[in-house]
């Protein structure tokens, strides 16, 4: 893989690590150079497989094999990126959608957040062991649930999870 560029248009590329969902691919952290809070609902409405997680002020977009997380302050996480070429394609697509969302906002068009079931940490929590043992690296199962939703942890990091609970959580967050 060629060196990942540090900046693609208005997006600065940060950490690039092996993706927990598929270690042969990459998880890319990036940052858009402006606040995105106002356009998050517009972005959510533009992608059929997206959810707005109000408690985290974040939109999760599922596109092909990728999950893309966009936070209000411009932070982005893109999973399962194959290589530099694919990363550039995804980022250009996101930037075009961001431009479209800004135009929709400026036009005064009111957008309703699509009525898709929003999965939050409280949905995941009942299926976690709730012992707060800390072995996954965070102090509580609830905090682990938040990290799962942000794709900053993988289910395998909790060694106390039984198979059925793991499958149930997988269904909720996939
Ligand atoms: S390892 Fe599992 S049981 Fe322990 S705190 Fe993390 S999520 Fe909870």
The pLDDT tens digits for 40-88 are: 988 988 988 888 877 778 898 988 889 899 999 999 999 889 999 999 9
pTM of the full predicted structure? Answer: 0.67
Q: Work out the average pLDDT over 94-102.
A: 94
Q: What's the CA dihedral at 110, 36, 85, 78 to 10 degrees?
A: -100
Q: Which of these three, 55, 83, 106, is where a domain ends?
A: 106
Q: Are residues 102 and 165 in the same domain?
A: no
Q: Which of these three, 50, 71, 106, is where a domain ends?
A: 106
User: From ligand 1's centre to the CA of 150, what distance in Å?
Assistant: 16
Question: Ligand 1 atom 4: the closest Cα is on which residue?
Answer: 133
CATH of the domain at 42: 3.30.310.10
pLDDT per residue as tens digits for the range 21-47? 777 899 999 999 999 999 998 898 898
Helix, strand or coil, per DSSP, at residue 15: strand
Mean of the per-residue pLDDT values of the chain: 87
User: From ligand 1's centre to the CA of 98, what distance in Å?
Assistant: 37
CB contact set of 21 (below 8 Å; sequence gap of 6+) = 67, 79, 80, 151, 154
Q: Which domain holds residue 19?
A: 7-106
Q: Residue 173 in contact with residue 147, Cβ under 8 Å?
A: no
Q: Are residues 54 and 91 in the same domain?
A: yes
Candidate of 124, 135, 145, 155 to mutate for ligand 1, largest count of ligand atoms within 8 Å of Cβ: 135
How far apart, in whole angstroms, are the C-alpha atoms of residue 148 and residue 9? 29
Residue 111, pLDDT score = 74
Residue 123, pLDDT score = 84
Backbone angles phi, psi at 117, to 5 degrees: -65, 125
Question: Ligand 1 atom 6: the closest Cα is on which residue?
Answer: 136
Q: Is 140 part of any domain?
A: yes
Q: Is 84 part of any domain?
A: yes
Question: Ligand 1 atom 7: the closest Cα is on which residue?
Answer: 141
Cβ(101) – ligand 1 distance below 6 Å = no
Q: Are residues 102 and 127 in the same domain?
A: no
How far apart, in whole angstroms, are the C-alpha atoms of residue 112 and residue 169? 27
Q: Is 115 part of any domain?
A: no
Q: Is 112 part of any domain?
A: no
In the β-sheet with 50-53, what is the strand arrangement from edge to edge? Answer: 7-8, 11-19, 22-32, 75-81, 66-71, 58-63, 50-53
Q: Are residues 91 and 29 in the same domain?
A: yes
User: From ligand 1's centre to the CA of 143, what distance in Å?
Assistant: 9
Residue 23, pLDDT score = 78
Q: Is 1 part of any domain?
A: no
């Amino acid at each position: 893989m060629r060196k990942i560029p540090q900046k693609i248009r208005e997006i600065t590329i940060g950490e690039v690590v092996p993706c927990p969902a598929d270690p042969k691919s990459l998880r890319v952290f990036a940052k858009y150079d402006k606040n995105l809070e106002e356009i998050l609902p517009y972005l959510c409405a533009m992608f059929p497989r997206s959810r707005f997680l109000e408690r985290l002020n974040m939109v999760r977009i599922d596109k092909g094999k990728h999950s893309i997380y966009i936070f209000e302050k411009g932070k982005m996480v893109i999973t399962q990126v194959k290589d530099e070429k694919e990363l550039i394609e995804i980022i250009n697509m996101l930037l075009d959608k961001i431009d479209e969302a800004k135009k929709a906002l400026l036009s005064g068009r009111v957008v309703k957040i699509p009525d898709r079931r929003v999965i939050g940490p409280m949905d995941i929590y009942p299926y976690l062991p709730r012992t707060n043992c800390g072995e996954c690296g965070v102090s509580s199962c609830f905090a682990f649930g938040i990290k799962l939703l942000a794709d900053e942890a993988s289910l395998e990091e909790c060694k106390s999870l039984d198979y059925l609970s793991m499958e149930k959580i997988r269904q909720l967050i996939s």
